[in-house]
Amino acid sequence: MYSMTGYGKGIAENNGSKLTIELRSVNHRSLDLNIKIPRILLFLEDIVRKQISSQISRGHLDVYINYEQSELEKGLYQPNIALAQSWLDSVAKIHNAFPNVQNDITLENLVKVPDVISREEAEEDNDDPIKLCNVALSQAISTLLETREREGLALKKDLESKLDEIEENRLEIEKLAPTVVEQYRTKLNARIEEAVKPDVVDQSLLATEIALYADHVAIDEELTRLKIHVEHMREYLKETKPIGRDVEFLVQELNRETNTIGSKAQCIEITNLVLKIKNAIEKIREQAANIE
């Protein structure tokens, strides 16, 4: 089981070039990529998207790509001899016009003249950045998944403890459920005895009333479904595939059954247990929002 929170980093180097990729992820309902990439590497964006989406299904990911070019990639310096000669000739003409001005031209002065020495633009070669990107991105995804898995294990333990809590309270409700009808029968008989003589009460009508009440407050089916949903949740937690959406759906089902139990059971003890279950379900819902 994986959390959607994590961090990963990968670095690849070759012939003086260095490409670094960092991944930071947080929870999101789907896969949402925010890629920050240098303009000279924009051709890599599609590669990055495909590689990430092939291994990660949910989460907001910020992708930071930094590229340090080797000196050769930036291009070689080339002298412009004709321009340098033209500049020197112009200086010589000025000196001839003003012979009293000392001519202190040095090589340092000459190479500082704009465009006398310029850097040629290197031929574009996408193969090396692509190779570096594949290596760095594989490393970054691998470390990201490791951190998401560690976080996922912590989430799993917490969810299992909440499921244990739900099951413990469900069993307590199961023990109390049969007593609800008997308590109603006792209270109803006591009220009748206070109001009228017992020998004038139609026992068949009384039995019908109690039967209708028993049917109204029956929660056996809801308790069974609640147990099944808890078991399904435990099975999901054993999966290695993304389970976030399945867990979110089961949380809704757990809530539905628990609400029905609470509305049917006319018993303060059961109501208190229902509140404990709802509290555990709410905590599961919060955690489920960060499960891939």
Q: Which domains does the chain have, with CATH numbers?
A: 6-71+126-148 (3.30.230), 77-119 (no CATH), 152-288 (no CATH)
- The pLDDT tens digits for 145-160 are 999 999 999 999 999 9
Alpha helices in the chain (DSSP H): 45-53, 71-74, 81-97, 107-111, 127-195, 203-217, 220-236, 244-264, 268-288
Per the model's pLDDT, the better-predicted residue between 204 and 262 turns out to be 262
Enter the pTM of the model: 0.66
Question: What count of other Cβ atoms lies within 10 Å of the Cβ of residue 87?
Answer: 18
- The pLDDT tens digits for 235-290 are 999 888 889 889 999 999 999 999 988 887 777 888 899 999 999 999 999 998 89
Q: Yes or no: say if 287 and 27 are a contact pair by the CB < 8 Å rule.
A: no
Beta-carbon contacts of 163 under 8 Å, excluding residues fewer than 6 positions away, are 230, 233, 234, 280, 284
